Amino acid sequence: MENLIEVKNLKKYFSTPRGTLHAVDNVTFNIEKGKTIGIVGESGCGKSTLGKTLMRLHTPTSGEVLYKGTDIASMPINQFKKDYRSHIQMIFQDPYASLDPRMDVLQLIEEPIKVNSKHLGKAEVTGKAKQMMELVGLATRLETSYPHELDGGRRQRIGIARALSLNPEFIVCDEPVSALDVSIQAQILNLLQDLQKERGLTYMFITHDMSVVKHISNDIAVMYLGQMIEKCDAKEIFKDTIHPYSQALLSAIPVPNAHSKQKRMVLKGELTSPIDPKPCCRFAARCPFSTDKCLAEEPQLRLIKPNHQVACHYAENFTK
């Protein structure tokens, strides 16, 4: 299967008064066409920055992002906007904050079409927007409603319609369901899956919810402080969790079962600072298995089993 996106040694640093913040640090991965990669991690691990960097909402510090073989990370931003923005779209986390409260539903969906297809006439734009509303399951009577009149699920459908209106091939979904109730969450996840099947879309699905990511992804990548620390097949990570951080992350999820008295690995402390990190394993300070080697040398992402990469010096000891 061909790769739609190839990310090579991507870095995004921010300079802050206290030093350089390594938000995304040397990340390398591929996404196959028509597949979904799930990016998991806690707040501050760089998953949203990674998504925004692929979208060129941030300019990468270094590294390559190949879209169908063309490097979109280093090209001038105007050229990217003209030729590639409509191919790569994003669905944002908070449907309460990402929509202009002064625009009605139809205007909101027309906006990206107007911006990106200037040759279209007014009637065509409206026609296309109405088509999009139907596609994502928004009733025609809602055309003149404003975002504040709608519930979270419907607002997120507007966000999806806006992203899809440009016929993108690749969509970055940044926590699209975390602001929604469970029954609405199920509706949106099903909608995203149906659209993927119909249109052959490729998703990068950013979330902190492991059960959601397991449900929707083909591959999963776990991020910690800007780095990718484990990457494998979505089912595999639940069968053979190798990196100690992934183990802790999985065992921390409360299971909705009255009899599951699972042994929990409770991590001590909290995330260390991503500002000017020392050249060592970034998880070492919280890792129950850390040794002197972990504090001296930075582990690289390496292949432990077929299609299963881990960045840990002692990965072999943890595999089943």
Partner 1 sequence: MNENILSIRDLVIHYETDEEVVEAVNKISLDIKRGEVVGLVGETGAGKTTTALGIMGLLPSKVAHVVQGSIELEGENLLKKSNHEMLKVRGKKISMIFQDPMTALNPVKTIGDQIAEVILLHDHCSKLEALKRAQDMLAMVGIVPDRYKDYPHQFSGGMKQRIVIAIALACEPDLLIADEPTTALDVTIQAQILDMMRTLQKKHGTSMILITHDLGVVAEMCDHCAVMYAGEIVEYGTLEQVFDHPKHPYTKALYQSIPSLDKDVERLHVIPGLVPDPSNLPSYCSFCARCTEKKPECAEHDPWITEVEPGHTAKCFKYTPEWEAK
Binding of residue 182 to partner 1 (CB under 8 A): yes
Binding of residue 186 to partner 1 (CB under 8 A): yes
- If the CB atoms of residues 109 and 216 are measured against partner 1, the closer one turns out to be 216
Binding of residue 138 to partner 1 (CB under 8 A): no
Binding of residue 196 to partner 1 (CB under 8 A): no
Alpha carbons 6 and 17: distance in angstroms, whole number: 33
Binding of residue 255 to partner 1 (CB under 8 A): yes
Binding of residue 4 to partner 1 (CB under 8 A): no
User: Quick check: 8 and 66 in contact, CB under 8 A?
Assistant: yes
Q: CA-based angle 294:296:298, to the nearest 5?
A: 65
Alpha carbons 49 and 274: distance in angstroms, whole number: 13
Alpha carbons 95 and 91: distance in angstroms, whole number: 9
Binding of residue 199 to partner 1 (CB under 8 A): no
Among 201, 203, 139, which residue's Cα sits nearest to residue 176?
203
Binding of residue 208 to partner 1 (CB under 8 A): yes
Which of 9, 16, 190, 307 binds partner 1 (CB under 8 A)? It is 190
Size of the site for partner 1 (CB under 8 A): 38
Q: Please report how close the Cβ of residue 248 comes to partner 1 at its closest, in angstroms.
A: 6
Binding of residue 258 to partner 1 (CB under 8 A): yes
> From residue 30, how far is each of 3, 9, 25, 42, 170 by CA, in Å?
6, 11, 16, 22, 13
Which of 30, 193, 196, 272 binds partner 1 (CB under 8 A)? It is 193
Strand order in the sheet with 219-224: 88-91, 170-174, 202-207, 36-40, 219-224, 227-233, 308-310, 302-305
Binding range to partner 1, per CB under 8 A, among 1-9, 25-33, 75-83, 150-158: 150-158
Residue in the block written with tokens 């509303």: 133
Binding of residue 206 to partner 1 (CB under 8 A): no
Binding of residue 48 to partner 1 (CB under 8 A): no
Binding range to partner 1, per CB under 8 A, among 47-55, 247-255, 299-307, 309-317: 247-255
Binding of residue 220 to partner 1 (CB under 8 A): no
- If the CB atoms of residues 53 and 241 are measured against partner 1, the closer one turns out to be 241
Binding site for partner 1 (CB under 8 A): 42-43, 151-153, 181-183, 185-187, 189-190, 193, 208, 210-212, 214-215, 235, 238, 248-249, 251-260, 264, 266-267, 270
